[in-house]
Amino acid sequence: MVRGIDFSPIDANVMADPYPYYEALRRGPSVTYLPDDDLWVVPGFADVWQIARTPESFSSKALRALGIGAISARTGTRPDIRELDARAPQSLIASDPPDHTHLRRLVSRPFTPRAIGTLTGEIRSIAEHVVDDLIAAGERGEPDLVHQVAFPLPVLVIAAALGIPAEMRDDFKRWSNALVGRLDGQPLSQEATADLGEMITYFGQVVAERTANPGDDLISWIIDGSAASGEPLAPRDLVSFCTLLLIAGNETTTNLLGNAYNAFFQHPDQFESIRAGADLGPVVEEVLRYDSSIQGILRLANEDVTIGDVTVPRDAVVMILFGSANRDERRWPDGHRFDISREPLDHLGFGSGIHLCLGAHLARLETVTAIDVLRTRLAHIEPRSEPTRFASSILRGFTSMPVQVTPA
């Protein structure tokens, strides 16, 4: 058994800046065991890539423990994950083939590049609207890139896709924040428990309404597709899909946009190239590599598995570190450096394998559109004060990014 360095994914210093810790992990064994967290962490690109693509050996059922038991032994005893199957609703991110194959097929069509491309005009219109709000906030002396742009843009887009009133975006944010805490395996506060209960009740009502009276929206499409497949999903499974789409449609883009502008502000020469009209496709890919919105994910070892020079025992909970893998010196000799000319098309910013982020194409389009609208509408944007990151071992992003803006 390999004992770890002074590292825990839920340590406040690690969540604030995990990259020096990742570098130290990569200098060690292929896998490091964290006894205080009862967790095995994998930092290297090749190993993370392989595990993400081997669901037969590394199950996504580890995610079923989240919200029921913490990933850290410091916060309580983890439940027997393999005994949770009967109690947990079917979830795309917490299932393996063949269940995952069936579930993914039900929701994949609206998220293909062709289908997402049809939303280009609508996303552009929403981006123009939220940048209007940013400029108006600038006139009041309180512009915040997260509050006025990075948060509302994806929420308004996914609300439209789900057929949910845009006025509920503040509720979406509360629910999403509670889900992020659950994703980290944090003990749920009374407030977060109430938020999640409210969310489940709301989506349960929506599923019942759309089952009785289908509309032209993503939830109705999933219900119809499920029924047509001959294996209709139970209402609780449909609610699980709604919560997944809420996170996929909200957190991914919000965090990506915040991380992008944080990198831009720290690299003014490259930001000037972006403002001058650089191709935004490679820029977004480099942001995903350099400061990954998804830092890692949990997997459950189905058997004793040897990874490099370490054997991980059956039933071990393994955390594959996408954020570390994306800076691995063996894959990118200067991986610590932000470089918008890099075009790192094999990064793991959206994961890999069968669980590649469902909303990846949507997040890319929203982010490229938002940056383009911002560089078109603003003559200048710069930090006004220090941004605030939220604390998470799984997701990486900001809750606030105060800026100064000058309209074009």
Tens digits of residue pLDDT in 30-77: 999 999 888 999 999 999 999 999 999 999 887 765 433 333 333 444
Dihedral angle, C-alpha 185, 188, 189, 195, nearest 10 °: 120
User: Does 207 score more than 70 pLDDT?
Assistant: yes
CA distance 175 to 122: 25
Q: What is the per-residue pLDDT for 192? A: 76
pLDDT band at 274 (very low <50, low <70, confident <90, very high): very high
How high is the mean pLDDT of the chain?
Answer: 86
pLDDT band at 88 (very low <50, low <70, confident <90, very high): low
Q: Which residues neighbour 221 within 8 Å (Cβ) at sequence distance 6 or greater?
A: 110
User: Does 157 score more than 80 pLDDT?
Assistant: yes
Q: 174-183, 321-330, 376-385: which has the minimum mean pLDDT?
A: 174-183
Give the range with max mean pLDDT: 151-160, 163-172, 249-258, 397-406: 397-406
pLDDT band at 323 (very low <50, low <70, confident <90, very high): very high
User: Does 189 score more than 80 pLDDT?
Assistant: no
Mean per-residue pLDDT, 337-350: 91
**Smallest Cα–Cα separation from 65: which of 204, 182, 168?**
182
Q: What is the per-residue pLDDT for 290? A: 97
Q: What is the per-residue pLDDT for 70? A: 34
Enter the tokens of residue 257. Answer: 């946009």
More confident site: 263 or 235: 263
State phi, psi for 2 to the nearest 5 degrees.
-95, 120
Q: Which residue has the tokens 């929506």?
A: 206
More confident site: 317 or 61: 317
Q: What is the per-residue pLDDT for 1? A: 35
User: Does 106 score more than 60 pLDDT?
Assistant: yes
Q: What is the DSSP-derived secondary structure letter of residue 216? A: S
Enter the tokens of residue 402. Answer: 């105060």
User: Does 135 score more than 90 pLDDT?
Assistant: yes
Residues written for the chain: 408
Q: Which residues neighbour 392 within 8 Å (Cβ) at sequence distance 6 or greater?
A: 15, 180, 183, 184, 295
Q: Which residue has the tokens 């439209």?
A: 160
Q: What is the per-residue pLDDT for 71? A: 35
Enter the tokens of residue 57. Answer: 């050996």
Give the whole-number percent of the chain exceeding pLDDT 90: 53
User: Does 87 score more than 60 pLDDT?
Assistant: no
- pTM (two decimals): 0.88
More confident site: 320 or 82: 320
Q: What is the per-residue pLDDT for 76? A: 41
Q: What is the per-residue pLDDT for 262? A: 97
Helix or strand or coil: residue 38? Answer: coil
pLDDT band at 181 (very low <50, low <70, confident <90, very high): low
More confident site: 261 or 191: 261
Longest dimension (CA), the chain: 60
Q: What is the per-residue pLDDT for 4? A: 46
